[in-house]
């Protein structure tokens, strides 16, 4: 379970506090177990700072805070505070990641059986797709639907989303696609072969949460080889 430490303090010496934290990060590089650190300043009170440190588990946090240098830095930080800092240890019981949820729902929709599910709540009307398979980019929701339908008519399969990384308004997914070749694909008649393709897709999302742009990278050469399209060239 994700674990969060929250440190709240008041200081009239923010520059010294920043230098202390920079020094701590430099000294602990390669040994810290924290996965994410964020420092916020109260808009209504510039002396009021809150630091949020995220760990993968409580045990990771314990290892991090148990280091001698961690204790030293905390004591030095407390000396820079106008009053004793407040610490809170929080088990994360709910964490919403809207961008990750949108990405995962997108891949589920692409592989759902039957007619292509509605994509209006996932893709912007002017969505822009970059795919090395196409000589030109695909622009607009209707053209994107047509592109997805082409793949769905040729293959029956599903995506396994291995990883999703999110930063600001962008998300990147690493996926594996497993399918059976059921119809014509780029002039190759149905072979009935089972194929596997790996790839990554980078997403740009609008403030309303919809996907506005995608960049696809996938093993197209490996797919064509599995379909037997390269057999004559190899011979």
Instruction: Output the domain CATH number for residue 53.
Output: 3.30.70.100
Residues 108 and 86 in one domain: no
Are 61 and 55 contacting, i.e. CB atoms less than 8 angstroms apart?
yes
User: Are 150 and 76 part of one and the same domain?
Assistant: no
Q: What is the mean pLDDT of residues 115-119?
A: 88
Read off the pLDDT of residues 179-208 as tens digits, 9 standing for 90 and up: 999 999 989 999 999 999 999 999 999 999
Domain boundary among the residues 91, 124, 145 is at 91
**121/77 same-domain check:** no
pLDDT 10s digits, 97-115: 899 999 999 999 999 988 8
Q: Domain limits at 12?
A: 3-91
Closest CA to 148 of 162, 163, 159: 159
Residues 154 and 215 in one domain: yes
Q: What does the block give as tokens for 8? A: 């709240």
State percent of the chain over pLDDT 90.
58
Confidence (pTM): 0.75
* pLDDT reported for residue 234: 55
Query: Which range (37-51, 56-70, 120-134, 157-171) has the least confidence?
Result: 56-70
Query: Are 110 and 218 in the same domain?
Result: yes
Note the pLDDT of residue 31: 73
Q: Are residues 113 and 57 in the same domain?
A: no
- SS3 label, residue 195: strand
**Tally of structural domains, the chain:** 2
Question: Does one domain contain both 73 and 154?
Answer: no
> Do 189 and 221 share a structural domain?
yes
Is 132 in the same domain as 215?
yes
Where is the domain boundary, 38, 73, 91?
Answer: 91
Beta bridge mates, 148: none
């Amino acid at each position: 379970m994700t674990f969060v430490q929250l440190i709240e303090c008041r200081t009239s010496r923010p520059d010294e506090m920043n230098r202390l934290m920079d020094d701590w990060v430099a000294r602990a590089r390669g040994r810290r177990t924290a996965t994410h650190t964020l420092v916020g300043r109260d808009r209504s009170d510039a002396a009021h700072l809150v630091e949020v440190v995220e760990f993968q588990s409580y045990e990771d946090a314990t290892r991090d805070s148990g280091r001698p240098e961690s204790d030293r830095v905390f004591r030095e930080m407390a000396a820079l505070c106008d009053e004793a800092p407040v610490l809170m240890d929080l088990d994360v019981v709910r964490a919403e990641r809207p961008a990750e949820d949108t990405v995962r729902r997108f891949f589920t929709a692409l592989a759902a059986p039957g007619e292509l599910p509605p994509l209006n709540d996932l893709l912007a009307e002017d969505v822009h797709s970059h795919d090395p398979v196409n000589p030109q980019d695909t622009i607009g929701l209707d053209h994107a639907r047509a592109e997805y339908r082409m793949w769905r008519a040729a293959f029956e399969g599903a995506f396994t989303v291995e990883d999703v990384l999110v930063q600001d308004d962008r998300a990147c997914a690493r996926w594996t696609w497993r399918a059976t070749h059921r119809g014509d694909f780029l002039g190759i008649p149905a072979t009935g072969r089972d194929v596997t393709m790996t790839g990554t897709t980078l997403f740009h999302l609008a403030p309303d949460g919809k996907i506005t742009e995608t960049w696809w990278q996938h093993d197209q050469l490996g797919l064509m080889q599995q379909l037997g399209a390269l057999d004559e060239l190899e011979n």
